[in-house]
């Protein structure tokens, strides 16, 4: 009986989270209430509150999922093949699109929820460390040029992360709904930033990628 109950709870909780992501992406966090989420799932508000105390708690849970997806993407597992930088760019922007309401509204969400603000700062620091480790592995593979100093390395990873994570917000600011085309543009912009650090065959890969992206 306990295992069945737990199974039902987990299933309902996952549905709430998935539905919330869809609604937040579609209409924005401000416009969506817990009542909207409950109505979308055809459950009572009381059933929703059994799983989450409020909308802020739902957002924090989604944020944790996004973080986990991001870390899994950037971590190089022992014994696994080194991930191509362009593949990381592609997959990273797909994550941005999947959780796009965060990248459109994070400034507002951080100001409204101090706990989320701290989580966001911790997340950025972890991503920057993972990006730095990835770049160092690319140097060893002969894909990227060595970085002369720690300051230059910090500059590179910071400018790449800042560009990628704010891209959707910047280019969608004049539009009602987020456009998928901006994700493709974002990939190309980041590739153009990083190409200056590539060498050998990797530079050719980036040149071909940018050229093919420009013709889409």
- Please give the Cα distance from 103 to 90 (Å, whole number): 17
- What local confidence, expressed as pLDDT, does residue 216 receive? 47
Q: What angle do CA 167, 168, 170 make, to 5 degrees?
A: 65
- What local confidence, expressed as pLDDT, does residue 176 receive? 55
- Evaluate whether 23 touches 100 at the Cβ level (below 8 Å): no
Both ends of the chain: CA-CA distance in Å? 55
Q: Would you say how long the chain is, in residues?
A: 216
Which of 162, 165, 168, 170 minimizes the C-alpha distance to 181? 168
- What local confidence, expressed as pLDDT, does residue 183 receive? 85
Q: If residue 22 lies in a helix (H) or strand (E), which one and from where to where?
A: helix 2-27
- What local confidence, expressed as pLDDT, does residue 86 receive? 96
User: SS3 for 208?
Assistant: helix
Q: What is the pLDDT along the chain (216 residues), one digit of tens a residue?
A: 233 344 444 588 999 999 999 999 999 999 999 999 999 999 999 999 999 999 999 999 999 999 999 999 998 777 778 999 999 999 999 999 999 999 888 888 999 999 999 999 999 999 999 999 999 999 999 999 999 899 999 999 999 998 888 877 777 665 555 567 788 888 999 999 999 999 999 999 999 999 985 544
- What local confidence, expressed as pLDDT, does residue 198 receive? 97
């Amino acid at each position: 009986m306990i295992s069945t109950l737990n199974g039902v709870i987990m299933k309902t909780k996952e549905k709430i989270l998935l539905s919330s992501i869809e609604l937040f992406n579609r209409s924005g966090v401000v416009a969506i209430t817990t009542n909207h989420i409950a109505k979308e799932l055809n459950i009572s508000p009381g059933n929703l509150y059994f799983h989450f105390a409020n909308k802020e708690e739902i957002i924090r849970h989604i944020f944790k999922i996004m973080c986990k997806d991001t870390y899994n993407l950037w971590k190089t597992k022992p014994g696994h093949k080194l991930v191509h930088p362009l593949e990381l760019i592609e997959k990273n922007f797909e994550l941005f699109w999947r959780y796009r309401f965060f990248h459109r509204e994070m400034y507002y969400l951080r100001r409204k929820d101090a706990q989320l603000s701290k989580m966001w700062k911790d997340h950025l620091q972890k991503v920057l460390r993972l990006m730095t480790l990835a770049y160092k592995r690319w140097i060893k593979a002969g894909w990227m040029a060595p970085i002369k100093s720690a300051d230059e390395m910090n500059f590179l990873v910071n400018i790449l992360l800042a560009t990628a994570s704010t891209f959707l917000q910047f280019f969608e600011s004049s539009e009602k709904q987020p456009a998928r085309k901006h994700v493709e543009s974002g990939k190309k912009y980041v590739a153009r930033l990083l190409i200056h650090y590539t060498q050998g065959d990797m530079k050719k890969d980036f040149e071909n990628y940018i050229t093919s992206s420009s013709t889409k």
